[in-house]
Structure 1
Amino acid sequence: MKVNIFLTWDAQDETCGICRMAFDGCCPDCKLPGDDCPLIWGACNHAFHLHCILKWVNSQTSQAHCPMCRREWQFKG
């Protein structure tokens, strides 16, 4: 049996798990959406605004874990 799976993702339907702002907008640190507020994916496939995840992993309480699944945070490369 052959199975074809197609995954699609629409940033307009998603929000950042840290700031809860829409991905097609910008994080609370930015004034305008765009290149200064890119989306960043972790090795666990969770996505966040760049500024949000940088603050999160550098905070003492996060212990550098993904805020969604608690795996050690690694940028997807």
Structure 2
Amino acid sequence: MKIKVKSWTMAAYWAWDVEKADVCGICQVEFDGCCPDCTMPGDDCPLIWGECTHVFHLHCLMNWFRKSTKGEHCPMDRSVWKTAAAPI
């Protein structure tokens, strides 16, 4: 038995993934915690903001730059990295 489809409608669902908004884009650990290189969260594991508005653990970003073969670019959008002024 064959069925002939005359028409069909496709639907999609889209939403922001809000739960992942407060994690480092490199190590995927929450900013309240610490990066894989640190053992204690807090001042020993600082965050760094880029002018592109992306935020990372400082240690994760430094490791990213060390391993990069194309210079210092943002891991999220590949723009040239420029550190933003510290938030107040």
TM norm structure 2: 0.68
**Fraction of identical pairs, as percent:** 57
Higher Cα Rg, which structure: 2
Q: Which sections of structure 1, spanning at least 5 residues, go unmatched? A: 1-12
Alpha-carbon displacement from aligned partner over 1:13-33 (angstroms, at most 9, x marks no partner): 511000111110000000010
* Distance in structure 2 (CA, Å) of the matches to 1:76 and 1:69: 15
* Distance in structure 2 (CA, Å) of the matches to 1:26 and 1:64: 22
TM norm structure 1: 0.77
Q: Which residue number corresponds to residue 10 of structure 1?
A: none
Q: Which residue number corresponds to residue 50 of structure 1?
A: 58
- Compute the displacement of 1:57 (Å): 1.7
* Distance in structure 2 (CA, Å) of the matches to 1:62 and 1:21: 25
Q: Which residue number corresponds to residue 35 of structure 1?
A: 43
> What is the aligned-residue RMSD (CA, Å)?
1.7
